[in-house]
Amino acid sequence: MTWTINEKQGSRKFSVTDEGPSAAVISLVCTASVASDVVDTLWDQITTTYPIGKPLPTGSVLNSFQPSGASDQYTWYVDSYSGARPAATNSSSAQVYLVDVNISFLGPISALTGVSNNTRRDVEVMFTGISRTAQTWVDWDSLDGLPSESDTDWSSANPSNLRVTGTRIDVNGRPMPKSVHQQRLTVNVYGAFDVDAASTVAYSHQGKRAADGTIFGVWAGSKVLFDSLEIVQVKHGFQRATFRFVCDWFNHLEQELCTAGTDNRLVTAFDGSSQDLTTITRTGTTSIEVFHAEAVWRQPYKKGTWSLSDVLGTDAATYVSGLFS
């Protein structure tokens, strides 16, 4: 047997939001072709017309919910359906069921309204001021400058480029732990569920600093580390992706003790031709001298090739960058 499916009066109810997926309800009147109550065949027909977890099929009762344009990348997904027989009917009457089909929109709210939000909830930005504890031979606040990318390459033919210069605060070669200021930026992006794409982004760019250029509208690429990515499935075909970035004023550089010889003895620091040491004068007795050691730069994170749009996508990257400009 077959069922005749028509829209009920008051159908096409919708809710547009950027707090999560925009939703709509298709209200249907389903009439059987025979008098017997065979609801299982109705389920079969609705499952075919409105497959849960799949895009709303073209030619469905309410295909006008689809965005205009055959090449539009956004669509509605079927979430669930529910139904009931409104009243008992005698065995000689065709059975009638009222069914609601719940669908959700996959895409930014601007695709529904034609208006871009000044602030959005489908893209959320969280800011955290953090710090790292760095072993320090030369005071970070006194640095004569930061080395270029090539100067931190330990395979360089000129190792003198690795030397850290500035005010030395180590004690006889022992580093002084200092707190180095950083910022953590977390970006949540709501979009299409795609584990493969997320895996590709993580494999290609995670654990690397950005390419040359400006990230988040203000940060040099060498200072921004793509730290981690995680995704969580939401409903059918949707995901909440969380991207974490760490911004470091000193390009994430580390200082390391410089040693020489097969016995790995420390290299005493010199200021020009004289030994670099700190003298503490004591009245009426011998002064105290603190020796300092040479330190070299180490870059633990490779310079990557990614821009923000490579990680977040063009739409989210444009919005997030605009928040910081």
Q: Which of 80, 113, 146 is the last residue of a domain?
A: 113
**How far apart are the C-alpha atoms of 47 and 80, rounded to whole Å?**
10
Q: How many domains does the chain have?
A: 2
pLDDT digits (tens, 9 = 90+) for 204-254: 999 999 999 999 888 999 999 999 999 999 887 788 999 999 999 999 999
Q: Among all chains, which residue has been given the structure tokens 């320090």? A: 136
Do 148 and 236 lie in one domain? The reply is yes
Residue 100 lies in a domain: yes
Identify the CA nearest to 205 among candidates 136, 295, 291, 308: 308
Do 152 and 275 lie in one domain? The reply is yes
Do 88 and 207 lie in one domain? The reply is no
**Hey, is 153 helix, strand or coil?**
coil
Residue 317 lies in a domain: yes
Per-residue pLDDT at 159? 61
| pLDDT band at residue 27 using 50, 70 and 90 as cut-offs | confident
CB 313 within 8 A of CB 191: yes
- Those residues with Cβ within 8 angstroms of residue 94's Cβ, 6 or more apart along the chain or in another chain: 31, 32, 33, 34, 35
Per-residue pLDDT at 274? 67
Pick the residue with more confidence: 179 or 56? 179
Q: Among all chains, which residue has been given the structure tokens 């065995």? A: 91
Do 9 and 73 lie in one domain? The reply is yes
Residue 150 lies in a domain: yes
Per-residue pLDDT at 63? 52
Do 80 and 160 lie in one domain? The reply is no
What CATH number did the domain enclosing 54 receive? 3.30.2000
Residue-by-residue DSSP string for 234-278:
ETTTEEEEEEEEEEETTTT-EEEE-EETTTTEEPBPEETTEE-EE
* Region 297-310 average pLDDT: 93
| pLDDT band at residue 115 using 50, 70 and 90 as cut-offs | low
Q: Which of 113, 131, 146 is the last residue of a domain?
A: 113
How far, in Å, are 17, 65, 108, 184 from residue 76 at the CA level?
14, 7, 12, 34
Do 146 and 89 lie in one domain? The reply is no
| pLDDT band at residue 69 using 50, 70 and 90 as cut-offs | very low
| pLDDT band at residue 67 using 50, 70 and 90 as cut-offs | low
Q: Which of 59, 78, 113 is the last residue of a domain?
A: 113
For 259, the domain range is 123-324
pLDDT digits (tens, 9 = 90+) for 121-132: 788 999 999 999
Residue 139 lies in a domain: yes
Residue 283 lies in a domain: yes
Pick the residue with more confidence: 115 or 263? 263
Do 248 and 291 lie in one domain? The reply is yes
Do 104 and 43 lie in one domain? The reply is yes
Pick the residue with more confidence: 82 or 66? 82
**How far apart are the C-alpha atoms of 294 and 136, rounded to whole Å?**
11
pTM for the structure as a whole? 0.76
Residue 44 lies in a domain: yes
Pick the residue with more confidence: 21 or 141? 141
Do 153 and 286 lie in one domain? The reply is yes
Do 206 and 317 lie in one domain? The reply is yes
Residue 118 lies in a domain: no
CB 54 within 8 A of CB 145: no
Do 18 and 129 lie in one domain? The reply is no
Extract the tokens encoding 205: 């760019």
pLDDT digits (tens, 9 = 90+) for 43-53: 888 888 888 88
Residue 129 lies in a domain: yes
Do 164 and 218 lie in one domain? The reply is yes
Per-residue b/e over 97-107, b at no fewer than 16 CB within 10 Å?
A: bebbbbbbbbb
